[in-house]
């Protein structure tokens, strides 16, 4: 396959070239076309990006397949230009042993339509098993309770994880401090419809981030702070980076594009952990975009019925894997972020941070996983066009300039702007 007249985006800039693909790999990037491939695709007017790597999704499989399953989740990913997903361990049963990790792999490998990696989950007692886990992209520690039962609230148990986990691998934390969350939940319990940002306040993430950074510093371990949501948390990560602590961080589209103002309108459809924050917190994330390593979705679907329950009963989490790229492209058009930064934070940095071979870049010998986008085309986010099983989006109705036109995996077209062609089982485990 030859993709001609492509404008290839990387963190270094835009390269105009013709892309030659053979056996699923990029074999050359050339200014001229010599010879002819079996198939030529004209990319005139479009930008070509590496397939996105979403380092934070919850595809609910196994255990809650009515919300999403690995096939519907990976199809939604492909429709959003995402060709690699990192699935979190709070499925059911929790992925907290080698045996359960292996069983989960067996279940999802037959369903995956895009490439994937799985996280291992920390419990209060599995530090020794975590230390020698094989086939996981990293360790996920829930410092505060959210969907599922994984939780490490005991300080000694938490420290032991940091002490024992291999230093070349990533420890990702859901940084909300359990004690703080409990205290505030108690305080607001009587209220029928409290604000989620008050029930799980900014101080909870600040407290947890401080603890996690302290431990990463003490034991020299690679810490990844998931879903940054507040200015104070952002500042803690920045300071730690300045001090040379091996810390990275991510921000989600919902924390970048929505605020607590939207939460009022969205009600439980805008309820996730950590919550949507103040405009000031949102602005702080944008102002510090240089210090944000990854943008990842925390795609966490629940059904409409589940979300329509009262505040205290409705689960936390929103879908996002297929709306991330259009939202970011629209922000490129609004000059809030550059296309180079989008590629850096959604393709290159995740590949580098987790050591994914052949991913994250459009270059010779790399896998031919890429996305063609139209920066001028406007599309409206509409539930009926989404592939996620939950069938709704907190971004519903937004008109976004910038659309995902075609997606390729190993040189084969898997999405044409309307249909996903990838078959269940066609994705690979990147940590097999
Ligand atoms: Zn999550």
Ligand 1 centroid, distance to 18 Cα (angstroms): 38
**For residue 147, what pLDDT is reported?**
81
Burial of 120 (0-12, 13-18, 19+ CB in 10 A): buried
- pLDDT tens per residue, range 250-299: 999 999 999 999 999 999 999 999 999 999 999 999 999 999 999 999 99
- pLDDT tens per residue, range 288-347: 999 999 999 999 999 999 999 999 999 999 999 999 999 999 999 999 999 999 999 999
**For residue 336, what pLDDT is reported?**
98
**For residue 198, what pLDDT is reported?**
94
Average pLDDT for residues 226-239, to the nearest whole number?
98
Q: Residue 309 CA to chain centroid, in angstroms? A: 26
C-alpha distance from residue 329 to each of 23, 74, 113, 374 (Å): 30, 21, 24, 9
**pLDDT-derived band of residue 393, with 50, 70 and 90 as boundaries?**
very high
Does the pTM surpass 0.95? The reply is yes
Ligand 1 centroid, distance to 336 Cα (angstroms): 25
Give which of 298, 295, 300 is closest to 268, Cα–Cα: 300
Ligand 1 centroid, distance to 154 Cα (angstroms): 20
Structure tokens at 198: 């008050």
**For residue 37, what pLDDT is reported?**
60
**pLDDT-derived band of residue 192, with 50, 70 and 90 as boundaries?**
confident
Count of CA atoms in the C-beta half-sphere (13 A) of 186: 6
Ligand 1 centroid, distance to 299 Cα (angstroms): 7
**For residue 172, what pLDDT is reported?**
98
Share of the chain above pLDDT 90, in %: 95
Ligand 1 centroid, distance to 167 Cα (angstroms): 23
Count of other CB atoms within 10 angstroms of residue 38:
7
Ligand 1 centroid, distance to 238 Cα (angstroms): 22
**For residue 300, what pLDDT is reported?**
98
Burial of 157 (0-12, 13-18, 19+ CB in 10 A): middle
Asked if 298 is an active-site residue, the reply is yes
Mean of pLDDT over the chain: 96
Ligand 1 centroid, distance to 69 Cα (angstroms): 16
**pLDDT-derived band of residue 191, with 50, 70 and 90 as boundaries?**
confident
pLDDT at 38 exceeding the cut of 90: no
pLDDT at 178 exceeding the cut of 70: yes
Average pLDDT for residues 372-399, to the nearest whole number?
98
Ligand 1 centroid, distance to 87 Cα (angstroms): 9
- pLDDT tens per residue, range 8-25: 999 999 999 999 999 999
Ligand 1 centroid, distance to 351 Cα (angstroms): 19
Ligand 1 centroid, distance to 279 Cα (angstroms): 22
**For residue 190, what pLDDT is reported?**
77
Ligand 1 centroid, distance to 261 Cα (angstroms): 22
- pLDDT tens per residue, range 120-149: 999 999 999 999 999 999 999 999 888 888
Ligand 1 centroid, distance to 56 Cα (angstroms): 6
Average pLDDT for residues 344-355, to the nearest whole number?
98
**pLDDT-derived band of residue 249, with 50, 70 and 90 as boundaries?**
very high
**pLDDT-derived band of residue 376, with 50, 70 and 90 as boundaries?**
very high
Average pLDDT for residues 190-211, to the nearest whole number?
93
Contacts of 174 (CB under 8 A, 6+ apart): 140, 141, 142, 143, 144, 146, 226, 227, 273
**pLDDT-derived band of residue 39, with 50, 70 and 90 as boundaries?**
confident
Give which of 201, 178, 180, 323 is closest to 274, Cα–Cα: 201
Average pLDDT for residues 185-195, to the nearest whole number?
86
**For residue 36, what pLDDT is reported?**
65
**For residue 189, what pLDDT is reported?**
87
Length of the chain as a residue count: 432
- pLDDT tens per residue, range 62-72: 999 999 999 99
> Which of the following is catalytic: 69, 298, 367, 369?
298
**For residue 35, what pLDDT is reported?**
66
Ligand 1 is an ion; its neighbours by CB within 5 Å are 298
- The separation between the first and the last C-alpha atoms of the chain, rounded to the nearest angstrom, is 28
**For residue 16, what pLDDT is reported?**
95
């Amino acid at each position: 396959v030859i993709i001609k007249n492509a404008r290839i985006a990387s963190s270094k800039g835009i390269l105009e070239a013709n892309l030659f693909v053979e056996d699923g790999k990029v074999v050359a990037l050339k200014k001229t076309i010599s010879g002819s491939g079996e198939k030529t695709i004209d990319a005139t007017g479009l930008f070509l990006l590496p397939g996105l790597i979403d380092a934070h999704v919850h595809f609910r499989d196994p255990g809650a397949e009515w919300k999403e399953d690995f096939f519907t989740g990976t199809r939604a990913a492909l429709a959003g230009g995402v060709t690699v997903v990192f699935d979190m361990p709070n499925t059911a049963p929790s992925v907290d042993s080698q045996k359960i990790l292996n069983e989960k792999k067996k279940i999802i490998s037959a369903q995956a339509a895009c490439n994937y990696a799985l996280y291992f989950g920390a419990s209060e007692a599995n530090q020794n098993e975590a230390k020698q886990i094989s086939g996981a992209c990293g360790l996920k520690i829930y410092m505060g309770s959210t969907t599922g039962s994984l939780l490490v609230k005991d300080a000694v148990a938490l420290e032991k994880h940091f002490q024992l986990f291999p230093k070349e691998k990533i420890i990702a934390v859901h940084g909300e401090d359990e004690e703080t969350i409990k205290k505030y939940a108690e305080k607001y319990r009587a209220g029928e419809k409290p604000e989620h940002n008050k029930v799980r306040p900014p101080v909870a993430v600040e407290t947890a981030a401080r603890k996690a950074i302290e431990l990463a510093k003490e034991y020299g371990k690679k810490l990844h702070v998931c879903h940054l949501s507040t200015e104070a948390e952002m500042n803690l990560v920045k300071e730690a980076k300045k001090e040379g602590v091996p810390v990275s961080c991510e921000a989600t589209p919902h924390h970048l594009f929505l605020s607590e103002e939207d939460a009022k309108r969205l009600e439980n459809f805008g309820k996730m952990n950590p919550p949507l924050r103040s405009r000031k917190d949102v602005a702080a994330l944008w102002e510090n975009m240089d210090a944000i390593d990854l943008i990842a979705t925390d795609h966490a679907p629940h059904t409409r019925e589940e979300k329509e329950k009262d505040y205290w009963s409705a689960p936390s989490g929103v879908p996002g894997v297929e709306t991330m790229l259009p939202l970011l492209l629209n922000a490129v058009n609004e000059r809030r972020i550059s296309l180079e930064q989008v590629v850096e934070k959604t393709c290159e940095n995740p590949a580098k941070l987790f050591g994914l071979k052949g991913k994250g870049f459009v270059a010779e010998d790399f896998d031919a996983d890429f996305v063609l986008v139209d920066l001028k085309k406007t599309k409206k986010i509409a539930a009926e066009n989404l592939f996620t099983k939950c069938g709704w989006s907190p971004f519903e109705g937004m008109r976004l300039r910038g659309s995902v036109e075609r997606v390729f995996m190993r040189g084969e077209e898997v999405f044409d702007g309307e249909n996903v062609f990838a078959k269940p089982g066609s994705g690979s485990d990147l940590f097999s």
